[in-house]
């Protein structure tokens, strides 16, 4: 087995296998990719990742590389053609197959699913194919995770549907977005019953084969599969072999296995129109909308949400043995794919860094606004930029240009002349949705079109971001003849000019890669940002620094990183929550609670929400700090006493620590709060088992 020193990637082996017809990167890009190797090695060591494969295709250029190990026990290196479980990256492939059948007239998007899967029980409301594609059909996700996520036996399609077919709908179809693999299992059954072929056979003949995806197959634990990787998970700080789970129960939602080159071939082939018509591709790319007029940010098989003012389609996958991500940027002819054999790792971070290497653009600029009364202005600027520039990148044209003047008037009236900052924020949050008239998309895309018409290169805003985008529009509109361009309310214009000027001074400040300590970082950054109204938000980097310090056992340096976060970003809920979590890990529960309360006051739905703290407790446990995770859950319950899931998680922590009386008490409290919460059946089972054994 490779030593951990070698496994730390000081001497890892790397392989590059470009596809036969692909061109190699040019010299400049090749040099940047070589530097990328060092970043990957450091990041993988920090995450304790056994192995990973990552690559991109842009136009005719393709690059794929394997890092680390496919099998630690036998020292098998990872390669470009290593075979991973795809997990939910299967879903856009299933969506493509359904849309093929729609094009052939064999499937009606608005027909009830029982038209094609007659054995699926009729529900109180129609469950249609269209709504299944967008996770809007009211189908629930896992209810008993301890059972449903740990099947050991192979399941047929009929058996897979039987797992959830009698679940009640969680909402009337069309009214609520609920991400669920079960809905995509139903779509797999549609494919089989309409085509007369098994799901895998249909996909091979009509999707994978035509796109040249020769390595993509159904996962089969008994089959001999070339280049199959071994999966791993972290137990505390120790890498362990993954639990064996047969994923046939998720067949068309996450039951496949493939390689990064095949993932790239899928992304490129879909956008190239090789298996779908332009009309079907447009359906995949368009966010669905709830009956109440809210975007779900999920189309048909793809997440679709503007990032950094870019139009992007993506899908992630998480499953025993694997973590995957697929990004596609249609207007750039760029697809990025990544797969790891470590469960629950953040593969998106690797894809985002590769995007920066390939394009030379930052993934997303995140200005921190140092004045509380200016934060709603920055929030508005961000959404105008994200929606507006992405619209121009996607279609080349503004959205509803004839309504631009009215959109500006509505923004001025309802967001910028509000004395109530909370009401203004609610309007901004609602303004991107159809129910809000899509006024922010209308105004933002009009701004982008005006800037382009005046000779501004919209690509430059990848480096300037929302503050520069809105500032430049304001300067342009102020210089234009009266009435020729929509204008913002004067106080907003004045504030944005000041924020833009401050950002001009600080926006180019980079995270100091070579700082030797948190104290040195603090000196550099606090000096650079002192007295500024807007400067870069390095919370992600500080969080990673704290994580790395904790991983080395340097709790003092980790706590110092939390102190740096609140010193630089006192108005940030993320900074306060990070500091609170680190204080809890250090054993200072009183100071931790104060920081967490402050984080919750900053943003009730943010980093100190019940869900966020629940996830943070799991991360502490995964890092070996079970007691700190338990204490954090107890603090979270003080902040969110009515949240049943927090009590359920606390019960599971007590079980792991062999504290049965406390576990039973926690589970019973969860059931008192909500007898039907998602883990209720599992909680009753644990209570019964503990009662029998004690």
User: For residue 143, what pLDDT is reported?
Assistant: 84
| 12 in the same domain as 148 | no
Same-domain status, 177 and 277: yes
194 shares its domain with 156: yes
Q: What pLDDT was estimated at residue 419?
A: 72
Q: What is the DSSP string of 184-228?
A: HHHHHHHHHHHHSS-HHHHHIIIIITTTT-TT-EE--TTS--TTB
* 365-389: burial string, b at 16+ Cβ within 10 Å, e else: bebbbbeeebebbbbbbbbbbbbbb
pLDDT of residue 694: 61
Q: What is the pLDDT of residue 9?
A: 44
Identify the pLDDT of residue 100.
98
Distance in angstroms (rounded) separating the CA atoms of residues 188 and 299: 17
Least confident piece of the model among 383-387, 549-553, 646-650: 549-553
Can you tell me the mean pLDDT for 135-159?
91
Is residue 240 within 8 A of residue 234, CB to CB? The reply is: yes
In this structure, the answer to whether residues 94 and 217 fall within a common structural domain is yes
CA distances from 212 to 109, 207, 314, 327, 537 (A): 28, 9, 20, 19, 42
Question: 262: burial class by Cβ within 10 Å (0-12, 13-18, 19+)?
Answer: buried
Say whether pLDDT at 75 is over 90: yes
Res 21: pLDDT? 60
**Domain assignment of residue 307, yes or no:** no
- Are residue 558 and residue 579 in the same domain, yes or no? yes
CATH number for the domain that contains residue 122: 3.40.710.10
pTM here is 0.90
pLDDT above 60 for 23? yes
The pLDDT, as a whole number, for residue 515 is 67
Q: Does residue 205 lie within any of the structural domains? A: yes
pLDDT higher for 665 or 515? 665
The domain that holds 567 is classified in CATH as 1.25.40.10
Q: How far is CA 271 from CA 220, 264, 327, 607, in A?
A: 29, 11, 12, 36
Range of the domain at 205: 87-225+232-301
Same domain, 592 and 467: no
- Whether residue 243 is found in the same domain as residue 287: yes
Check whether 12 has a pLDDT greater than 70: no
Tell me whether residue 311 is in a domain. no
Q: Is the residue at 327 inside a domain?
A: no
Q: Which two tokens stand for residue 425?
A: 């924020």
Q: Is 319 a domain residue? A: no
pLDDT at 552 over 80: yes
The count of domains in the chain is 4
Distance CA 517, CA 536 (A): 20
Between CA 435 and CA 437, with CA 364 as vertex, the angle to 5 degrees is 10
Dihedral pair phi/psi, residue 243, rounded to 5°: -60, 140
The stretch 413-417 carries a mean pLDDT of: 89
- The C-alpha atoms of residue 188 and residue 160 are separated, in whole angstroms, by 10
| Angle ∠(444,411,500) on CA atoms, nearest 5 | 60
SS (H, E, C) 495-517: HHHHHHHHHHHHCCCCCCCCCCC
220 and 78 inside one domain: no
What confidence score (pLDDT) does residue 423 get?
85
Q: What is the pLDDT of residue 172?
A: 98
Q: Indicate whether 646 pLDDT > 80.
A: yes
Is 308 a domain residue? Answer: no
Give dist(CA 403, CA 424) in Å, integer: 21
H/E segment holding residue 690: helix 680-693
- Band (528; pLDDT cuts 50, 70, 90): very high
Residues whose CB is less than 8 angstroms from the CB of residue 271 and which lie 6 or more positions away in sequence, other chains included:
281, 328, 330, 333, 335
Q: What is the pLDDT of residue 512?
A: 86
- Residue 2, pLDDT > 70, answer no
pLDDT digits (tens, 9 = 90+) for 381-395: 999 999 999 999 999
Q: Does 340 map to a domain?
A: no
Decide if 341 is inside a domain: no
d(CA 84, CA 211): 18
In a shared domain, residues 622 and 656: yes
User: Which pair of structure tokens corresponds to residue 246?
Assistant: 């047969």
Please tell me whether residues 203 and 272 are part of one structural domain: yes
Instruction: Determine how many CB atoms are found less than 10 A away from the CB of residue 161.
Output: 20
pLDDT digits (tens, 9 = 90+) for 185-235: 999 999 999 999 999 999 999 999 999 999 999 999 999 999 999 999 988
**Residue 420: is its pLDDT beyond 80?**
no
Query: Are 405 and 269 members of one domain?
Result: no
Length of the chain: 694
The continuous run of DSSP H or E covering 325 comes out as strand 322-329
Question: Given a cut of 80, is residue 11 above it in pLDDT?
Answer: no
Average of per-residue pLDDT across 109-123 = 98
Residues 146 and 284 in one domain: yes
Mean pLDDT of the chain: 93
Is 565 within 8 Å of 575 (Cβ atoms)?
A: yes
User: Residue range 437-458: average pLDDT?
Assistant: 97
Average pLDDT (306-329) is: 97
């Amino acid at each position: 087995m490779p030593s951990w020193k070698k496994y730390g990637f000081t001497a890892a082996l790397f392989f590059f296998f470009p596809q036969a017809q692909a061109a190699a990167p040019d010299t400049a890009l090749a040099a940047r990719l070589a530097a990328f190797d060092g970043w990957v090695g450091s990041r993988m060591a920090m995450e304790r990742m056994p192995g990973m494969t990552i690559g991109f295709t842009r136009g005719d250029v393709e690059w794929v590389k394997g890092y680390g190990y496919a099998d630690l026990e036998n020292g098998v290196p990872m390669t470009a053609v290593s075979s991973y479980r795809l997990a939910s990256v299967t879903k856009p492939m299933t969506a493509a197959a359904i849309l093929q059948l729609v094009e052939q007239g064999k499937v009606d998007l608005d027909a009830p699913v029982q038209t094609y899967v007659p054995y699926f029980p009729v529900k109180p409301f129609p469950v249609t194919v269209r709504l299944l594609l967008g996770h809007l059909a009211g189908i629930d996700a896992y209810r008993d995770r301890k059972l449903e996520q740990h099947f050991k036996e192979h399941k047929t399609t009929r058996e897979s549907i039987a797992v959830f077919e009698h679940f009640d709908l969680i909402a009337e179809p069309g009214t609520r977005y609920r991400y669920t693999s079960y809905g995509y299992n139903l779509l797999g059954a549609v494919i089989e019953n309409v085509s007369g072929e098994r799901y895998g056979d249909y996909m091979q003949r009509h999707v994978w084969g035509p796109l040249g995806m020769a390595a993509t197959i159904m996962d089969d634990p008994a089959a001999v599969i070339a280049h199959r990787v071994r999966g791993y998970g972290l137990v505390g700080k120790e890498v362990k072999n993954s639990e064996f789970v047969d994923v046939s129960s998720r067949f068309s939602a996450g039951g496949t296995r493939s390689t990064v080159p095949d993932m790239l071939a899928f992304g490129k082939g879909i956008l190239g129109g090789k298996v779908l018509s332009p009309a079907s591709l447009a359906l995949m790319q368009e966010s669905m909308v709830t009956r109440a007029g809210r975007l779900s940010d999920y189309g048909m098989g793809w997440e679709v949400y503007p990032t950094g003012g870019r139009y992007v389609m993506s899908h992630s996958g998480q499953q025993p043995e694997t973590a995957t991500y697929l990004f596609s940027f249609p207007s750039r002819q760029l697809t990025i794919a990544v797969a790891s054999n470590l469960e629950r790792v953040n593969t998106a971070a690797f894809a985002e860094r590769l995007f920066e290497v390939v394009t030379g653009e930052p993934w997303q600029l995140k200005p921190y606004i140092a004045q509380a009364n200016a934060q709603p202005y920055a929030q508005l600027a961000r959404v105008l930029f994200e929606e507006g520039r992405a619209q121009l990148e996607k279609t080349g044209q503004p959205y509803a240009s004839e309504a631009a003047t009215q959109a500006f008037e509505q923004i001025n009236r309802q967001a910028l002349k509000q004395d109530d900052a909370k009401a203004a924020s609610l309007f901004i949050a609602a303004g991107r949705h159809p129910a809000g008239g899509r006024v922010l998309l209308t105004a933002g895309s009009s701004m982008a079109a005006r800037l382009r018409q005046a000779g501004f290169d919209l690509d430059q805003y990848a480096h300037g971001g929302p503050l520069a985008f809105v500032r430049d529009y304001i300067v342009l509109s102020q210089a234009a003849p009266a009435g020729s361009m929509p204008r913002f309310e004067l106080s907003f214009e004045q504030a944005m000019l000041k924020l833009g000027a401050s950002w001009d001074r600080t926006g180019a400040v980079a995270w100091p890669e070579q700082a030797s300590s948190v104290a040195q970082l603090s000196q550099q950054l606090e000096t650079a940002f002192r007295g500024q109204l807007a400067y870069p938000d390095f919370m992600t980097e500080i969080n990673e620094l704290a994580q790395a310090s904790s991983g080395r056992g340097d709790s003092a340096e980790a706590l110092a990183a939390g102190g740096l976060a609140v010193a630089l970003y006192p108005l940030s809920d993320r900074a306060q929550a990070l500091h609170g979590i680190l204080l809890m890990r250090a054993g200072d529960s009183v100071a931790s609670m104060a920081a967490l309360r402050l984080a919750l006051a900053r943003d009730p739905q943010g980093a100190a929400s019940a869900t966020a703290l629940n996830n943070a407790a799991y991360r502490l446990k995964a890092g070996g700090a079970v007691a700190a995770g338990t204490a954090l859950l107890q603090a979270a319950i003080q902040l969110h006493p009515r949240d049943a899931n927090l009590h359920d998680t606390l019960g599971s922590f007590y079980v792991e620590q062999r504290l049965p009386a406390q576990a039973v008490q926690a589970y019973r409290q969860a059931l008192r709060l909500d007898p039907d919460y998602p883990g209720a059946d599992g909680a009753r089972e644990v209570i019964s088992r503990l009662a029998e054994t004690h």
